[in-house]
Chains A and B, each alone.
Chain A
Amino acid sequence: DGGITQSPKYLFRKEGQNVTLSCEQNLNHDAMYWYRQDPGQGLRLIYYSQIVNDFQKGDIAEGYSVSREKKESFPLTVTSAQKNPTAFYLCASKQGRGDTQYFGPGTRLTVL
């Protein structure tokens, strides 16, 4: 069953703690993306990776970090430096130089 998985669906953390969100895909896609969505808002790009061991900052990278050690995995760490981390986080992937991105089910992070 091919697809993109994000875990967990809901995540709660105390202020000041780092937290890592998981994103895995078995679609053999080269590129992976992380977006943030706030209530009633569109999607804003945090980081993206077009190939293993390489990634670029998106529009709102401050306070976040990523790694791409394996093709199928692109974890996102929300650090304590992110001033307003409570949001819905979406991971996406796409094949090579294509344009169509496919999304995971999302993780809702709440920082208390």
Chain B
Amino acid sequence: GQQLNQSPQSMFIQEGEDVSMNCTSSSIFNTWLWYKQDPGEGPVLLIALYKAGELTSNGRLTAQFGITRKDSFLNISASIPSDVGIYFCAGFRSNFGNEKLTFGTGTRLTIIP
């Protein structure tokens, strides 16, 4: 099955730095979702995007639905220790009778003390 290309695979940053990651696909999606997963836990939804060009914020997180509908971006401003984890993008294309998400490969964020 298809997985979305997510980059970078991993990031090592200092507390207070801004973070940017992106997700690209060869297919068009109607919806983009961003999840965060803490070690040993299930992913938690951060932001949902429904329209091409849409820019949505959730606290220090901002995500954008690419204008081509084939990509999405997530930015985290002023990172803090609890931002550590794995971030996944997911795309959804409404095919009647086929309600599946396609997930990215994940970006692992580590904060260096």
Contact = CB atoms under 8 A, between A and B. Distances in A.
A8 to B, nearest CB: 13
Interface of A: 4, 6, 31, 33, 40-45, 48, 50, 58-60, 88, 90, 92, 94, 97, 99-106, 108
5 tightest A-B CB contacts, nearest first? A59-B1, A103-B42, A99-B92, A99-B31, A42-B105
B77 interface: no
Chain A CB count within 10 A is highest, among B1, B41, B43, B45, for B43
A107 to B, nearest CB: 10
Nearest to A97: B99
Contacts of B40: 88, 106, 108
Interface string B90-113: 101010010111011110100000
B33 interface: yes
Contacts of A48: 99-100
Contacts, number: 64
A103 B100 contact: no
Interface string B1-33: 101001000000000000000000000001101
Contacts of B92: 99
A6 to B, nearest CB: 8
B44 A103 contact: yes
Contacts of B104: 42
Contact of B103 (A6, A43, A97): A43
Interface string B67-101: 00000000000000000000010101010010111
Contacts of A44: 1, 3
B3 A100 contact: no
Contacts of B43: 43, 90, 103
B45 A100 contact: yes
